Amino acid sequence: TSRTGTVIRRAETPLFWVGALTVASLALWLLYRLLSGFRIWVLGNGQLLSPKLGKWAVVTGATDGIGKSYAEELARRGFAMMLISRSQEKLDDVARSLEEQHKVETRTIAVDFGKTDIYPKIEAGLSGLEIGVLVNNVGVSYPYPEYYLHIPDLDNFITNTINVNMTSVCQVTSAPTLDFYIFLVFRSKGVILNISSASGMYPVPLLTVYSATKAFVDFFSRGLQEEYRRQGIIIQSVLPFFVATKMTRIRKPTLDKPTPERYVAAELTTVGLQSQTNGYFPHAVMGWVTTRLVPSSIVIFLGAQMNRRQRTGYLQRRKLREQKNGVSFKNE
């Protein structure tokens, strides 16, 4: 008994210091996380994006949703705007609005990002511009959640989705060629925002192709950031959850489903502070929960269940519409 007591007393001091160091480490880690969160989500980095980076900002998919909100916010900050999207009519409307509201110069390039022969036209349009910010936003999703082999016109769907969501990001980033090098690398300043999606953080069944292409955008962005960060270029991967846009078909914004304007205003304050961001504090919480707390197998399962329900609802509504219009319906 005496010997046991002696051993315990000898172990008390080392155990005390191990416990103390553990508690201190956890306290310091928590303090660091709180201060980092305060720096990102409260103080922000809102003054970084200005025409000091370069006169022009380029936004793809600039006529609707998040892309349009990026164009409006960057124009408000004084950038001349190069708008790239498919519809010349919509481009003209957005350009006219920006010129009237913010008194900035605008230019437009109308191209279909589903095609691959468009990049000489884009390169010619960007030639000679002092580009400070590039927002690779253009994207396309499913018309409704669907099993891979049941996707209507699957071959064209695959080609179009890859061209719009993946090829565009690679090609537009390199389109200015020598001008890109001069204005970004040589000047050691410039920002590229690649709009991915929270769907790219883990597989989302029944939106599998979309999810996979957005995962590519995230990996591509983070790889380029490491390649060029020493030159002072910021390349950010942006992974929003649901935003109330035409693509998501969400009409009524909520705290966790913000308007594009609210989302973009929040996201731009994270530029230079996070190379990979959900862009909006409620989305950051959701991202932390779904990647750190909940096993990925559960996230994938729940995503599949949600999309199966949405698929069933969509097909039922379509069947009723087609029956009402006297059109035969094939249940897929």
The HSE-up count of residue 73 (CA atoms within 13 Å, CB side) is: 22
> For the chain, what percent of residues have pLDDT higher than 90?
67
pLDDT band at 5 (very low <50, low <70, confident <90, very high): low
- Catalytic annotation, pick one of 70, 142, 210, 263: 210
Candidate from 185-199, 237-251, 308-322 with smallest mean pLDDT: 185-199
Structure confidence at residue 184 (pLDDT): 58
Contact criterion met (CB below 8 Å) for 232 and 189: yes
**Encoded amino acid at 153, one letter:** D
CA 68 to chain centre: 14
- Write the pLDDT tens digit of every residue in 97-114: 999 999 999 999 999 999
Distance, CA of 110 to CA of 167 (rounded, Å): 17
Structure confidence at residue 282 (pLDDT): 95
Tokens found for residue 94: 């957005």
Angle between helices 88-102 and 65-76 (to 10 degrees): 30
Task: Output the CA–CA distances (angstroms, integers) from residue 142 to 27, 203, 208, 304, 321, in the order listed.
Answer: 45, 15, 9, 14, 20
Tokens found for residue 112: 């279909």
Distance, CA of 196 to CA of 245 (rounded, Å): 15
Contact criterion met (CB below 8 Å) for 63 and 138: no
- Write the pLDDT tens digit of every residue in 284-299: 999 999 999 999 999 9
Distance, CA of 124 to CA of 127 (rounded, Å): 5
Contact criterion met (CB below 8 Å) for 207 and 157: no
Distance, CA of 35 to CA of 50 (rounded, Å): 26
Pick the more confident residue, 236 or 41.
Answer: 236
Q: How far apart are the first and last CA of the chain?
A: 77
**Encoded amino acid at 308, one letter:** R
Q: Mean pLDDT, to the nearest integer, of 236-250?
A: 90
**Encoded amino acid at 87, one letter:** S
| Apex 153 CA angle, 151 and 156, nearest 5 | 110
Domains, the chain, with CATH or none: 51-293 (3.40.50.720)
Question: Looking at the predicted structure, is the pLDDT value of residue 176 above 70?
Answer: no
Question: Looking at the predicted structure, is the pLDDT value of residue 182 above 80?
Answer: no
Q: Mean pLDDT, to the nearest integer, of 124-137?
A: 91
- Write the pLDDT tens digit of every residue in 22-67: 888 888 878 877 887 777 877 778 778 899 988 999 999 999 999 9
Based on the residue annotation, tell me whether 202 is a catalytic residue of this protein: no
> For the chain, what percent of residues have pLDDT higher than 70?
90
Instruction: Give the SS3 label for residue 118.
Output: coil
